[in-house]
Amino acid sequence: MSNQERWTTAEIPDQSKRVFLVTGANSGLGLATTRALARKGAKVIMAVRDEAKGRRAVAQLTAEHPGADLEVRRLDLADLDSVRAFAGQLRAERPRLDVLVNNAGLMAPPRTLSPQGHEVQFAANHLGHFALTGLLLDLLEAGDDPRVVTVSSSNHRQGKIFFDDISGERKYSPMGYYNQSKLANAVFGWQLHQRLTTAGSPVRSLLAHPGYTSTNLQTGAPVAMVKFVFGRLLLPLAQSPDQGALTTLYAATAADVQGGQFVGPGGMAELRGAPTLVKLAPRGADAETGRRLWELSEELTGVRYAFRTAA
């Protein structure tokens, strides 16, 4: 794939009869992704932590596009009990899922623990999505052109997995542990691709990153310095959420993408621009890192993947 200079949401093929699940769908990149998919006829299940905000987002989107087929469901990705309940309900009601967009994320809070005792960025950004994908894998394998798109960040290149201090008990840095979670997203997306391919599964795993995009992830960051740098100082460089979501939408809908590919912006330093293929950091594709993180994620979530081979 070359840099698609003129690629816009107008290029998205018709998505009628296709079912998408987008996490963090009520604001920012998730809302922009949902808007574009709904306009192309997709059924979008909006997984949100705050149902009231989700309902307000639905009202906004249906006012813009009265035919939008949207459904709000509560999901707190930092809480593995919530993930299991969400997946169980979806499995009881739906025979298939076509595309899962692992989009939701937290950025640079003070050290906080999830209900299960994990550092909250690692819990919400990685462990929750790892568990959700595994619990819904059979629905995806029954889907039409099924895909998992995991949203990472260019920050994955600065990341390190702190296997000896995974929850920051000894030494915590808000951005250091954010970068860890984004590297974990990248490692997961690549490992999932490898394992799906080995199994002969019809599901494709892709990665995307939005570049630098103005969302409440930055402007609402609870750490003052992070909020100042990303929410004010660098804001003139930022894309809109609609622009930032293009990479995710390309990975989720374009006919020419392949499993294992990483879609990012094609402009300077991958900060902004049209969708293009970008490189995964060597750590993201490192086999030993992938093995250790996968095994740790299984241990911490209790979710073990059952890959079904293609017919």
Cα distance between residue 56 and residue 72, in whole Å: 10
Q: 263 - beta bridge partners?
A: 208, 277
Q: Do 101 and 21 contact (CB within 8 A), yes or no?
A: yes
Taking alpha carbons only, the member of 216, 212, 251, 219 closest to residue 105 is 216
Question: In sequence order, which residues have a C-beta less than 8 Å from that of residue 136 and are 6 or more positions away?
Answer: 21, 87, 90, 91, 97, 100
CA atoms within 13 A on the CB side of 292: 14
Cα distance between residue 21 and residue 164, in whole Å: 34
Q: Which of the residues 172, 177, 178, 305 is marked catalytic?
A: 178
Task: Please say if 178 is a catalytic residue.
Answer: yes
Cα distance between residue 28 and residue 132, in whole Å: 21
Q: Do 119 and 168 contact (CB within 8 A), yes or no?
A: yes
Retrieve residue 117's tokens: 């005792």
Residue type, 25: A
Cα 63–chain centre separation: 26
Retrieve residue 210's tokens: 């939005």
Residues with catalytic function: 178
